[in-house]
Amino acid sequence: MDPLMSFEDVAEYEHVYANALVPGLLQTPDYALALHRVQDVRADADVIADKVDARIKRQAILERSPALHLWVVLDDAVLRRPIGGPDVMSAQIDHLSAMAQRPNVDIQVLKFAAGAHAAGSGGHFLILGRDDEKNPLNSMNVVYLELHKRGLYLDAPTEVQSYKLMFDYLRSQAADTSNSVELLAAARQELIR
């Protein structure tokens, strides 16, 4: 099993900063397929189909009981890059809007107008956590940094705390969840013009 999936299986929450692409837990099958076709240009169609299938199956953690709480800060660039073309991207934005209505999913858009922000030149990252006040040894906090062909995991308390603070700053710089739903709708309208 992929280490990320193992961490997600036991996490209570996942905080994601996405600077270029829709996070895997929120991707539609068509978006994931378009993405894998350009990222894995030498892979056979069957291999790509398996990767897409695995990515979509990962999303079941949003349905489990208790469901994972997912909080995502999407950089405006994520909405402006038409992965798979306008039709695929429009459907992807519709999916983001629908997911934002769920009680366990929060989506905020970090607009270009926000200027410089806490993540600076850093890339996509996830903070996976589980808090257990009764038994702190059962608690878990891990940062996953998404790299080109692999991921990097950080679990040193000072590193995790640094990313938690960065995520808090990003949330404070992003539009609130209600306004972000409106920004998703506006981005979709721009795509279909």
Q: Domain coordinates of the chain in residue numbers? A: 3-23+68-191
Residue whose structure tokens are 């990097």: 152
Q: How far apart are CA 60 and CA 173, in angstroms?
A: 30
Tell me, what amino acid is at 147? L
- Residues in the chain with pLDDT < 70? 1, 121, 134-138
Q: Are 76 and 175 in contact (CB under 8 A)?
A: no
Tell me, what amino acid is at 166? M
pLDDT computed for residue 1 by the predictor: 55
Residues in CB range of 132: below 8 A, 6 or more apart: 138, 139
What's phi and psi for 142, nearest 5 deg?
A: -135, 140
pLDDT computed for residue 162 by the predictor: 94
pLDDT computed for residue 77 by the predictor: 95
pLDDT computed for residue 110 by the predictor: 96
Q: What token pair was written down for 10? A: 């036991």
Residues in CB range of 32: below 8 A, 6 or more apart: 24, 51, 52, 55, 56
pLDDT computed for residue 137 by the predictor: 61
Q: How far apart are CA 192 and CA 8, in angstroms?
A: 35
Q: Which residues pair with 72 in a beta bridge?
A: 16, 107
Tell me, what amino acid is at 96? L
- Work out whether strand 105-110 and strand 151-154 pair parallel, antiparallel, or are unpaired: unpaired
Cα 37 to Cα 34, 47, 93, 133, distances in angstroms:
5, 10, 20, 44
- Work out whether strand 140-146 and strand 105-110 pair parallel, antiparallel, or are unpaired: unpaired
pLDDT computed for residue 5 by the predictor: 82
Q: What token pair was written down for 8? A: 């997600």
